Structure formats: C-alpha cells, structure tokens
C-alpha cells in the first residue's frame, strides 16, 4: 500500500501478516527487498498501515531499544520522535523487550526473539516514466541501483517455447526478462502476480555449463535463486525458467511457459515545474511522450469551484484515458484509505453521454458495478474511488479533486 507524507514523499508499505519470524529475520527480509522495517512519523501514517491490515496479528516495526538507558530509535537511524505506545508501554517486562510491535494502531515492546509478522517500507518514486505495451495485460516499473528505470510487461494468456518467447519480446523492442537484483525480482513477481506459473527468463548456458543472461551478452550475476539441486541438466535442459514456487530451474527450451518482457526506459530528470495542490506526481504520457503534472487538492469543492482552481494552474480536472493513467491517479489519491476524488468526467451536457472536460476522447471507463445510476436524477459528475472505480455524483456535492496539466 502507498502513503504520501506531509512533505510529499511517497512510502510503500509491504505487510507480511502470515509470517512467523523473529525481528532479526524480518529485518533481513525487508533488506533483501530493498526496504527496511517500517518507521512512523505521524498518526495518519500508522492508520494508513492499519487500514491495510487484513488480520489481527501483531507485526514487527522498525523501532529498537539500545544501551543501558534503553534509548529507542528507528532502524533507519532516526530518533524515535512520534510515538504510539500502549498505556504502560514500553515496560521491558523480563528485561529483554528491545523490539517493538504494531497492534491495533499502537505499539508494545517485545523480545526480539518472539515470532511475529512484519511491515517493510521503502520510499517510492515521485514520478512515473512511461511503461506500457498495447500487446500486454499488465506492466510494472523498477529502478535499478544506478538510477535506470526498467519496464516489465506480462500477458498471462501468452505461452511459448523459449525461442518463440524471445522473438515475441523482440518484436516489441524488448527482451525476455533478466534478473540481477533481489529487489528487482521481488518487485516484478509481486506486482505482476507471477506466483503459481512457470515463466521463461533470458538465461542460457554455454558449452562449459556456465549460465548467463543472453540479453546481457552472456554475463552472469551474483544474484540467483536456483531451486535446491538445480540446475541439473536432466535431459537437454539448456534454458532458464522460474517454477511456480518462484525459484529457478533449468528446462527444455521447447517447453511451453509464460514469459515477461523487459526494456529499459529513458527518463529525463523529474520536472521541477509541477506545482500546486497538497500532493503531486509527474507522469509521462506514452501516447504523446509529454510529461503531465497531477495535483491532489484535499479541500473539498463543488465541480465548478474545482474547475476554477485547476484552470488557475493552467489545467483541468483530471482525465483518465488508460489503465496506466488510472494507476497514477490512484497512486496520488491513496494517502487516506477512504479518499474519493472528483475527476473531469461528466454527462451534464447530454444525459447518458459522458465526456472529459479536457475534450479528450473517451478511450476507457472504470465504472463500479451498478454505476452510473444517476440516483435522484441529479448525478452528472464523477468520483474516482480508492478501489480505482468510478461513481456518478451530484455536481453540487463538495469533493476532494485532482487537477492535471501538461509540462
């Protein structure tokens, strides 16, 4: 889940609620994902994580006590600052409670050796480079340690042999996926939902039985996730795949598996001219290669008043013309779990015929089931909900809103 703080920094929290591990193991798992145990600086941030919890289990957070005076600090090195201790906590019961857990929005100190779930956190990027492919059903982005962006595209309906998969990726200017970092592998498999399927990767072996990434000129990587006993070359197994457990296996190249395509994305520095609103994000429109600024405004206004604010920024109430742009709007609006935002979609001019205020064509719609229903005969405007789906509302109803303008 995503949280945007008061400084417009974007934090991604990953909840591992079913895990039962000690705090040291939880820390190492977060680190392997390029993250750290969660830290908190406000009530809103704590409640954002609580709203995402599906179970009642307590979760390790990144707060630790050290020294004879038991000084509490975050694993990131920051001082404790904001606190949410339960009454009577921290108690150091038994003299060894040097770690902290989150439970029902508050904190308890516990021994670091107890088994708990945990929450990881990492700072999310402040802008979205273009990552789309008309031939795919899902895509995701990852930024490598050198600052380069990579786009990964996946169509769950597509299966092919290894060579056919490579050819198909190349036809779109991409290559069969390679993995050189644990953070990369975790991001792609999680965001594209790859668990439970067999997937080709662009790895092959040479005559000396040395495995390397084909698209990296055969270069290897210090990162690998081979299944125990693999690769074992059990009968002409010269190509690399991920099995349903997400560990790696050598396989016959003629086998028919799913596959992910990858390409590097050229991204200029995030524009600094995106201003206005309480939070903002920049996104590159793949259809025009233009950068657009999206600004979230949390003071609720009617449709006409919101249009005036957007016009003062040189823009308009946001238009959502693709699944990817919908994700950008959801990304910006999800600071609160229940936030609904007004968008620039309306049938005020012609009942039943919805159009964008910007005049752009209607390429996609994301109505919630049973909507639009024009309840009471007065619902001519549209809200984008926290689930990414739309509901028609009265244009006189005050709502938070998002403006958009080209940079």
Under the phi-then-psi rule, with left for phi > 0, alpha for psi from -120 to 50, and beta for the rest, what region is 46?
alpha
* pLDDT > 70 fraction of the chain, expressed in percent and rounded: 82
**Residues 176, 202 contacting (CB under 8 angstroms):** yes
Reported as a single tens digit per residue, the pLDDT across 255-288 is 999 999 988 875 544 455 678 888 787 777 766 6
Instruction: Give the homologous superfamily in CATH for domain 279-406.
Output: Mannose-Binding Protein A, subunit A (3.10.100.10)
Query: According to the model, what pLDDT value does residue 37 have?
Result: 93
Residue that has been written with the tokens 């084909």 in this structure? 214
Query: According to the model, what pLDDT value does residue 3 have?
Result: 66
* pLDDT > 90 fraction of the chain, expressed in percent and rounded: 37
Query: According to the model, what pLDDT value does residue 344 have?
Result: 97
φ/ψ of residue 96, rounded to 5: -140, 25
SS3 state at 37:
strand
- Cα–Cα distance for residue pair 321/26, rounded to 1 Å: 40
- Cα–Cα distance for residue pair 45/78, rounded to 1 Å: 16
Query: According to the model, what pLDDT value does residue 376 have?
Result: 93
Structure tokens given for 12:
């991604």
Average pLDDT over residues 148-163: 86
CATH of domain 2-124: 3.10.100.10
- Cα–Cα distance for residue pair 391/373, rounded to 1 Å: 8
Average pLDDT over residues 161-181: 89
**Residues 400, 300 contacting (CB under 8 angstroms):** yes
User: Mean pLDDT lowest for which of 81-85, 132-136, 233-237, 338-342?
Assistant: 132-136
Query: What rounded mean pLDDT belongs to the chain?
Result: 83
User: Mean pLDDT lowest for which of 72-76, 230-234, 250-254?
Assistant: 230-234
SS3 state at 50:
helix
Asked whether the CA dihedral 119, 120, 121, 124 is positive or negative, the reply is negative
Structure tokens given for 258:
């799913």
Reported as a single tens digit per residue, the pLDDT across 21-34 is 899 988 887 776 66
**More reliable by pLDDT, 380 or 183:** 380
Reported as a single tens digit per residue, the pLDDT across 176-220 is 999 888 878 887 887 777 777 889 999 887 665 678 787 665 555
**Residues 262, 175 contacting (CB under 8 angstroms):** yes
User: Residue 222 has what DSSP assignment?
Assistant: S
Answer yes or no: is pLDDT of 73 > 80.
yes
Say yes or no: do domains 130-265 and 279-406 share a fold: yes
Query: According to the model, what pLDDT value does residue 136 have?
Result: 44
Answer yes or no: is pLDDT of 337 > 50.
no
- Cα–Cα distance for residue pair 253/200, rounded to 1 Å: 9
**More reliable by pLDDT, 104 or 194:** 104
Length, in residues, of the chain = 407
Q: Model confidence at 133, in pLDDT bands (50, 70, 90)?
A: very low
Answer yes or no: is pLDDT of 98 > 90.
yes
Q: Which of 53, 145, 58 is nearest to 108 (CA)?
A: 58
**Residues 18, 110 contacting (CB under 8 angstroms):** no
Query: According to the model, what pLDDT value does residue 355 have?
Result: 96
Q: What is the DSSP string of 105-142?
A: TEEEEE-TTS-EEEEEEEEEPSEE-----TT-SEEEEE
Query: According to the model, what pLDDT value does residue 67 have?
Result: 87
Answer yes or no: is pLDDT of 174 > 50.
yes
Domain map (residue ranges) of the chain: 2-124, 130-265, 279-406
- Cα–Cα distance for residue pair 113/195, rounded to 1 Å: 30
CA distances from 20 to 23, 25, 349 (A): 10, 10, 57
Q: Model confidence at 131, in pLDDT bands (50, 70, 90)?
A: low
What is the pTM for the complete model shown?
A: 0.45
- Cα–Cα distance for residue pair 399/175, rounded to 1 Å: 44
**More reliable by pLDDT, 96 or 206:** 96
SS3 state at 304:
helix
Query: According to the model, what pLDDT value does residue 345 have?
Result: 97
Query: According to the model, what pLDDT value does residue 289 have?
Result: 65
Q: What is the DSSP string of 310-368?
A: HHHTT-EEPP--SHHHHHHHHHHHTTSTT--EEEEEE-SSSTT--EETT--------BP
Q: Which of 143, 104, 145 is nearest to 12 (CA)?
A: 143
Q: Model confidence at 398, in pLDDT bands (50, 70, 90)?
A: very high
Average pLDDT over residues 71-89: 88
Reported as a single tens digit per residue, the pLDDT across 280-332 is 877 777 666 678 888 999 999 999 999 999 999 999 999 998 877 887 787 77
pLDDT winner (highest mean) among 7-16, 22-31, 350-359: 350-359
CATH T-level fold of 130-265: Mannose-Binding Protein A; Chain A (3.10.100)
């Amino acid at each position: 889940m995503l949280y945007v703080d008061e400084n417009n920094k974007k934090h991604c929290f990953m909840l591992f609620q079913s895990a039962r591990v000690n705090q040291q193991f939880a820390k190492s798992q977060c680190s392997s994902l390029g993250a750290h145990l969660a830290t908190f600086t406000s009530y809103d941030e704590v409640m954002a994580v609580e709203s995402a919890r599906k179970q009642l289990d307590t979760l390790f957070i990144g707060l630790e006590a050290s020294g004879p005076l038991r000084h509490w600090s975050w694993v990131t090195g920051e001082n404790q600052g904001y606190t949410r201790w339960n009454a009577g906590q921290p108690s150091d019961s038994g003299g060894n409670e040097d770690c902290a857990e989150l439970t029902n929005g508050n904190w308890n100190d516990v021994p670091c050796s107890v088994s708990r779930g945990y929450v990881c956190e990492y700072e999310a990027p402040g802008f979205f480079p273009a990552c789309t492919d008309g031939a795919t059903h899902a895509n995701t982005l990852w930024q490598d340690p050198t600052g380069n962006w990579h786009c990964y595209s996946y169509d769950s309906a597509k299966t092919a042999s290894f060579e056919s998969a490579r050819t198909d990726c190349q036809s779109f200017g991409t290559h069969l996926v390679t993995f050189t970092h644990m953070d990369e592998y975790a991001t792609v498999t999680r965001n594209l939902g790859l668990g439970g399927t067999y997937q080709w990767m662009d790895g092959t072996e040479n005559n000396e039985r040395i495995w390397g990434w084909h698209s990296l000129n055969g270069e290897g990587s210090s990162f690998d996730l081979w299944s125990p006993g693999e690769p074992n070359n059990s009968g002409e197994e010269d190509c690399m795949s991920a099995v349903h457990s997400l560990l790696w296996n050598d396989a016959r190249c003629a086998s028919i598996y799913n596959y992910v395509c990858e390409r590097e994305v050229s991204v200029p520095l995030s524009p600094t001219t995106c201003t206005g609103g309480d939070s903002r994000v920049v996104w590159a429109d793949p259809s025009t290669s233009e950068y657009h600024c999206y600004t979230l405004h949390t003071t609720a206004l009617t449709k006409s008043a919101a249009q005036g604010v957007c016009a003062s920024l040189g823009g308009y109430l946001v238009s959502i013309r693709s699944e990817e742009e919908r994700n950008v709007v959801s990304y910006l609006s999800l600071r609160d779990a229940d936030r609904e935002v007004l968008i620039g979609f309306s049938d005020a001019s012609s009942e039943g015929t919805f159009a964008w205020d910007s005049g752009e064509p209607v390429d996609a719609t994301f109505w919630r089931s049973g909507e639009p229903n024009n309840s009471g005969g007065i619902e001519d405007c549209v809200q984008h909900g926290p689930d990414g789906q739309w509901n028609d509302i009265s244009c006189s109803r005050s709502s938070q809103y998002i403006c958009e303008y080209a940079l």
